[in-house]
Amino acid sequence: MSTRASVFIATSLDGFIARPDGNIDWLNDANAVVPSGEDCGYNEFMSSVDILVMGRNTFELALTFDAWPYEGKRVVVLSSRPLIVPAGLPNTVSASSESPDVLVKRLSAEGAQRLYVDGGITIQRFLAAGLIDDITLTLIPVILGQGRSLFGPIKNDIPLVHVTTKSFEFGFVQIKYRVAHDA
């Protein structure tokens, strides 16, 4: 299929996306020293994305922001339980209980070019299903020691192809990999 699925996420050096309770204070603290105007490639990445696919936790985190952060983008919230999209959100937001495989097939048939897969559990499900095509990982210079892992158990190795690495003067290291589906 011609739809690409991408991960664009930050972790601590020990691979956590949040503390055990979901707190991302450490990430907010790190972002606070990023120079104004530096977005570490986020806007460029977002401009290549048609549709965001995220889990309920990520969705609920986004709802706590002052403004809905994905204006103008289709957002699919994966949830096994029924999800009521709060009033006031744009009609670009929908919920789905489809499996990653079924969802990607449907969005591909609808003409999606690139999916932004976000949230730890959702990323893990897509990786385990072999549905992720590229990963942009930004390493924050801190070891947390515990928290919610980006990566989870998978049955088979996933070989990667290194694409680019960029280090920032404020200590972030951003690495982009392509998943080697043909390996």
User: Smallest distance, Å, CB 82 to a copy of itself?
Assistant: 31
Paired with 135 in beta bridges are 7, 177
| Minimum distance, C-beta of residue 148 to a copy of itself, in the bound complex (Å) | 14
Task: Please say which residue, 71 or 157, places its beta carbon nearer to a copy of itself.
Answer: 157
Nearest approach in angstroms of CB 147 to a copy of itself is 10
- Closest CB to a copy of itself among 51 and 179? 179
Torsion angle, alpha carbons of 17, 22, 23, 27, to 10: 10
Nearer to a copy of itself, 76 or 118 (CB): 118
82 versus 145: smaller Cβ distance to a copy of itself: 145
58 conformational bin, left if phi > 0, alpha if psi -120 to 50, beta if neither: alpha
Residues 6+ apart with CB under 8 A from 80: 97
Does residue 171 sit in helix, strand or coil?
A: coil
**Residue numbers of the site for a copy of itself (CB under 8 A)?**
13-15, 26, 127, 135, 137, 139, 141-146, 150-162, 164-165, 167, 171-173, 175, 177
To which residue do tokens 């996420």 refer? Answer: 9
Give the shortest CB-59-to-a copy of itself separation in angstroms. 24
Angle between helix axes 120-128 and 100-109 (nearest 10 degrees) is 90
